[in-house]
Amino acid sequence: MPQLVAVTGATGFIGRVLLDRLIDEGWKVRVLTRQASAPFIHSAVEWIVGDLSCVEIQQELVAGADAVVHCAGAVKGHSWESFLSNNVIGTKHLLQAVAKTGSCSRLLYISSLAARQPQLSWYAQSKYDAEQLLSMVADQLAVTVFRPAAVYGPGDKVLTPLLQAMQYGVLPALGPATNRFGLVHVNDLVEAMICWLSIETPISGIYEIDDGTPSGYDYAMIMSIAEQVLGRKIRHVRIPLIGLSSLASLNLWLASVLGYAPMLTPGKVQELQYPDWTCDITILQKALQNWHPKMPLQVALPTLT
């Protein structure tokens, strides 16, 4: 079992849950933060102030660490350059640091199922390009990629609010009714990450991950589950593609003028329109042996209220 784990993105949605679990499990953790000072003090956590733009900071982060978990990355942006800088070049700098220190036996990169279709968006392309860089260190240590489906849970500001809307009898639909997609609760994803850290022999390869629901979900299935769990009728409200596309284009233009990072862009609309974001977790389950998802939507939904 690794004694010291270096983590990027530990102040983000997934990373915060991972950090709490690592502390609870008794791991020693070295964490990268952009904040000027440590977000909190704990004897098991060492904070390194900096970001992925500096190779020297990354060397300080990974020095002496047996394992690296790379969660950091941009999920929104107003240009290809913003995704390139954060997701691709930042990953390259981290890998250069890992290669120089030589202490790590395993590295886990949290990518996205979107990397399966890089032509759809800047985000998808950047995640795919970052995955290709992992070959830089593949001859030195075990390199693993997790491609999670849509992740939700406490702290999520994107998918969880849409699911919470069903408490009021409404399910906003951002894609065609026939689309199928996987979901994974952040607790299940983090549990898989903990299992990855704990297995004696490190694994390599790319693994897709969702909550194990056969063939994933569609909007009708989500409404049916919500009606059973919440005990009320759910109305399906589909946002027309032309309206969604127009809103995304306007949002991107405003972002370029005002300088903010938009979530809804034309590329994100293309991701939402893609018909199949399902995956098969049996390969990952065989590799991890002791990991089994425990939070399908019917179990997780009541916890989101």
Task: Give pLDDT tens digits for 70-95.
Answer: 999 999 999 999 999 999 999 999 99
- Checking if the pLDDT of 2 tops 70, the result is no
* Sequential DSSP letters for 117-185: SGGG-HHHHHHHHHHHHGGGTTTTSEEEEEEE-EEESTT-SSHHHHHHGGGGTEEEE-S-TT-EE-EEE
pTM: 0.95
The per-residue pLDDT for range 174-191, each reduced to its tens digit, is 888 899 999 999 999 999
Q: Is residue 269 part of a domain?
A: no
In-domain check, residue 270: no
Q: At a CB cut-off of 8 Å and minimum separation 6, what does 246 contact?
A: none
CB atoms within 10 A of CB 197: 21
Distance between CA atoms of 45 and 31, rounded to whole angstroms?
7
Instruction: Give the least confident one: 13-17, 34-38, 154-158, 207-211.
Output: 34-38
pLDDT at residue 1 tops 80: no
Tell me the mean pLDDT in the region 125-141. 96
Residue pointed to by tokens 């005990």:
231
**Cα–Cα distance measured from residue 119 to residue 65, given in angstroms and rounded to the nearest whole number:** 35
User: What is the residue whose two structure tokens read 């919470």?
Assistant: 164
Q: What domain range is 200 assigned to? A: 4-151+184-212+279-294
Sequence-ordered list of residues with C-beta below 8 angstroms from that of 113, at least 6 positions apart, any chain: 147, 148, 149, 150, 182, 208, 277, 279
The mean pLDDT of 150-160, rounded to a whole number, is 93
**Is 253 domain-assigned?**
no
In a domain, residue 299? The reply is no
pLDDT at residue 289, rounded to an integer: 87
Q: Does residue 168 surpass a pLDDT of 70?
A: yes
pLDDT at position 288 over 60: yes
Structural domain includes residue 132: yes
Is 9 part of a structural domain of the chain?
yes
Which token pair is 71?
């969660």
* Sign of CA pseudo-dihedral 279, 283, 288, 291: positive
Structural domain count of the chain? 1
Classify residue 161: in a domain, yes or no.
no
Give residue for tokens 């983590």: 7
Position 36 confidence tier, pLDDT thresholds 50, 70, 90 = low
Which domain CATH number covers 102? 3.40.50.720
Interval 226-265: pLDDT, tens = 999 999 999 989 889 999 999 999 999 999 999 999 999 9
In-domain check, residue 166: no
Dig out the tokens for 201 from the structure: 């022999």
Rounded Cα gap, residues 256 and 248, in angstroms: 12
Mean pLDDT of 112-139: 97
The count of other CB atoms within 10 Å of the CB of residue 117 is 16
Q: What is the DSSP letter of 239?
A: P
Distances (CA, A) of 253 to 19, 92, 262: 36, 29, 10
Give the integer Cα–Cα distance in Å for 177 and 198: 40
